[in-house]
Amino acid sequence: MASLELDSTLVLLSLVFVVSCFAIVVRAGFGPGRKESVHALPPSPPALPIIGNLHKLGGIHLHRTLQALAQRHGPLFLLRLGSVPLVVVSSASMAEVVLKTQDHIFCNRPEQYTARGLLYGCRDIAFSPYGEQWRQIRRVAVVHLLSLKRVDSFRALRVEEVSRFVQRIRAASGVGEDRDGVNMSELIISLTNTVISKAAFGNKLGGVEPAMVRGLMKELTDVLSTFAVSDMFPGLGWLDWARGLDARVKRTAAKLDMVVERTIAEHEENRVNNCEARDLLDDLLSIYKDGDLGFKLDRTDVKALILDMFVAGTDTIYKTIEWTMAELIKNPRELEKVQSEVRSQVAGSAQARIVLEEELEKMSLLQAAIKETLRLHPALPLLVPRETIEDTRVDGYDIPAKTRVMVNTWAMGRDSESWENAEEFLPERFLGQAIGYSGKDTRFIPFGAGRRGCPGLAFATRLVELTLANMIYHFNWQLPNGQDLESFELTESSGVSPGLKSTLILTVKPL
Ligand code: HEM
């Protein structure tokens, strides 16, 4: 899942080019001050000509920069990114208005250059503009691909892959001689990729190597997270061409299309023989070819939808598992409590066996630890950017149509108005509280809320919970080489979905 990634190099690049492009931009009618007919815009830091507030957004963690700006300008403030107005929402009460009361106005997605090139002109769900096309494909996902029933149907796949994952950890742990530790990041990424890939394509990859599919899907998310100059300066599209982004998008899109076409071809062949279990691509082909379930899809919709599962599902799930484990290691007393709950709930545990999904609902502390992790480290700290459909007013301020909107769920999770000891990892705060993932309580919205809220919630939480329950049940965990807790830093990587900056390497002792 991607949005804008404003790294300092690009801000500099904009600055350098902005001077020489001044004339073009002014002629094209872009730049701050263009639309000042509205009466009361939200508070805003002073802007420079042409670039607006871009110079304020240096640094690798946009959510942190925006949190600092919110502390100065309030929970609803306005920035100008080149010619584009952006409103930033940083409190539960403002999110309530934007994602619920006025969800019908804030539910568009801004056009993103890389998404257009990679996802068939934004024919997927996540980047699709609000309208009939989005409504159709979203319904296919909600009613069919990601429904509770369909998520349940992947239970055997999850159990099989998590069992393999446990075996791999056991093998890598070298029966107690692994002072250097096991690379858990790598194993978690591999598990997540395999589950998504098998749910989407089964084993029918049209002869393409699984490693190639994995590599390409990573390239897809990397390119989607790359900031395009033309998203902020529509007159400067040639800059994306000059820096090679254009070529990279086209190259990646062509390779992705080749892979998806080959998997579709094998699935089509298989439909005739009808000999294997159904995966998500089979479901989509049934809808496309037979008009099943009253939906209308064409071949391009099928391709864009299947790619969305990878874009939206892999990094988000893997990072949530990794952050939860890292927080539990950093807080050993919490790990001990969760471990004792998990072990006591696994019936007949005389012999190590896989924890089953039916057992997860009794593990309320484990679930609370995952929520607490998502409060502190939401996989998408700024959700996915939205855009207003028409002029509106929020909290007495005018918000014009086509304003971009970012909701800083990361800042909201650390807001001391909403959370006591907001910076501390205290899973028990969620026990006995009716705070779920649905977005009903806007203090806690790691999956977003409203009509553009995440449709993959059930798919994601099942895998996250099952994986962590098994990690915690089967093994005892420590930092490698006697590393002390103080030196184990939970530092974020850069990017729109920040993970742990360093690889998670842990010493494992099998139960
Ligand atoms: C821990 C895992 C996940 C997290 C934290 C997460 C979070 C999010 C967030 C914050 C949004 C934007 C919501 C908004 O704008 O209000 C989103 C959208 C979306 N997610 Fe997820 N997600 C996860 C897993 C998944 C999975 C596994 C899938 C599918 C396989 C998925 C599919 C989608 C799609 C298709 C959208 C776009 C919805 C739309 O625009 O209508 N997500 N997700």
Q: Please report whether residue 364 resides in a domain.
A: yes
- Under a CB-based contact definition with an 8 Å cutoff, are residues 374 and 320 in contact? yes
Q: Please report whether residue 238 resides in a domain.
A: yes
Q: Is 308 in the pocket of ligand 1 (CB under 6 A)?
A: yes
Q: Is 455 in the pocket of ligand 1 (CB under 6 A)?
A: yes
**How does residue 175 score in pLDDT terms, banded at 50, 70 and 90?**
low
Give the range of the structural domain holding residue 370, as residue numbers without chain letter. 8-510
As a whole number of angstroms, the distance between CA 372 and CA 392 comes to 34
For residue 42, count other CB atoms closer than 10 A to its CB: 23
Q: Is 32 in the pocket of ligand 1 (CB under 6 A)?
A: no
Least confident span in 146-150, 261-265, 351-355: 351-355
Q: Please report whether residue 1 resides in a domain.
A: no
User: Of 291 and 19, which is predicted with more confidence?
Assistant: 291
Identify the pLDDT of residue 328. 98
For residue 394, count other CB atoms closer than 10 A to its CB: 20
CATH label of the domain that carries residue 73? 1.10.630.10
480: pLDDT strictly greater than 70: yes
Q: Tokens 């995952």: give the residue.
A: 370
Which residues are CB-neighbours of 369 under 8 A, at least 6 positions away? 324, 327, 328, 334, 338, 427, 468
As a whole number of angstroms, the distance between CA 455 and CA 461 comes to 12
CA 147 – ligand 1 centroid, Å:
14
Question: Is the overall model pTM greater than 0.75, yes or no?
Answer: yes
Radius of gyration of the chain (CA): 23
Q: Please report whether residue 3 resides in a domain.
A: no
CA 388 – ligand 1 centroid, Å:
20
Q: Is 446 in the pocket of ligand 1 (CB under 6 A)?
A: yes
Q: Please report whether residue 380 resides in a domain.
A: yes
Q: Is 436 in the pocket of ligand 1 (CB under 6 A)?
A: no
CA 136 – ligand 1 centroid, Å:
17
CA 145 – ligand 1 centroid, Å:
13
| Among 101, 63, 121, residue whose Cα is nearest residue 304 | 121
Structure tokens of 415? Answer: 């807001």
19: pLDDT strictly greater than 70: no
pLDDT single digits (tens) 458-468 = 999 999 999 99
Does the CA dihedral 111-68-42-440 come out positive or negative?
Answer: positive
Identify the pLDDT of residue 390. 97
CA 107 – ligand 1 centroid, Å:
14
Which residues are CB-neighbours of 484 under 8 A, at least 6 positions away? none
CA 69 – ligand 1 centroid, Å:
26
Identify the pLDDT of residue 363. 97
Q: Is 381 in the pocket of ligand 1 (CB under 6 A)?
A: no
Task: Write out the DSSP string of 474-500.
Answer: HEEEE-GGG--GGG---PBPSSSS--B
pLDDT (mean) for 21-44: 54
As a whole number of angstroms, the distance between CA 263 and CA 281 comes to 9
Which residue's C-alpha comes closest to atom 17 of ligand 1? 454
60-64, 211-215, 225-229, 407-411 — most confident range: 407-411
User: Of 76 and 237, which is predicted with more confidence?
Assistant: 76
**How does residue 29 score in pLDDT terms, banded at 50, 70 and 90?**
very low
469: pLDDT strictly greater than 60: yes
Structure tokens of 186? Answer: 């790598």
**How does residue 33 score in pLDDT terms, banded at 50, 70 and 90?**
very low
275 is in an annotated binding site: no
Structure tokens of 246? Answer: 């254009």
pLDDT single digits (tens) 103-144 = 999 999 999 999 999 999 999 999 999 999 999 999 999 998
User: Of 445 and 269, which is predicted with more confidence?
Assistant: 445
What Cα–Cα distance (Å) separates residue 68 from each residue in 12, 75, 77, 89, 404?
21, 11, 12, 12, 19
% of the chain at pLDDT higher than 90: 75
- Mutation probe of ligand 1 site: the residue of 89, 321, 454, 457 with most atoms within 8 A of C-beta: 454
**How does residue 30 score in pLDDT terms, banded at 50, 70 and 90?**
very low
Identify the pLDDT of residue 46. 94
For residue 344, count other CB atoms closer than 10 A to its CB: 11
Which residue(s) pair with 478 in the sheet?
507
> Regarding beta strands 404-407 and 84-89, do their DSSP bridges make them parallel or antiparallel, or are they unpaired?
parallel
What Cα–Cα distance (Å) separates residue 326 from each residue in 313, 321, 428?
20, 9, 17
| Packing angle, helices 457-474 and 299-330, rounded to 10 | 40
Based on the structure, what is the number of domains in the chain? 1
Which residues are CB-neighbours of 273 under 8 A, at least 6 positions away? none
Q: Is 313 in the pocket of ligand 1 (CB under 6 A)?
A: yes
As a whole number of angstroms, the distance between CA 407 and CA 447 comes to 12
Nearest atom, ligand 1, residue 464 CA: 1
Q: Please report whether residue 2 resides in a domain.
A: no
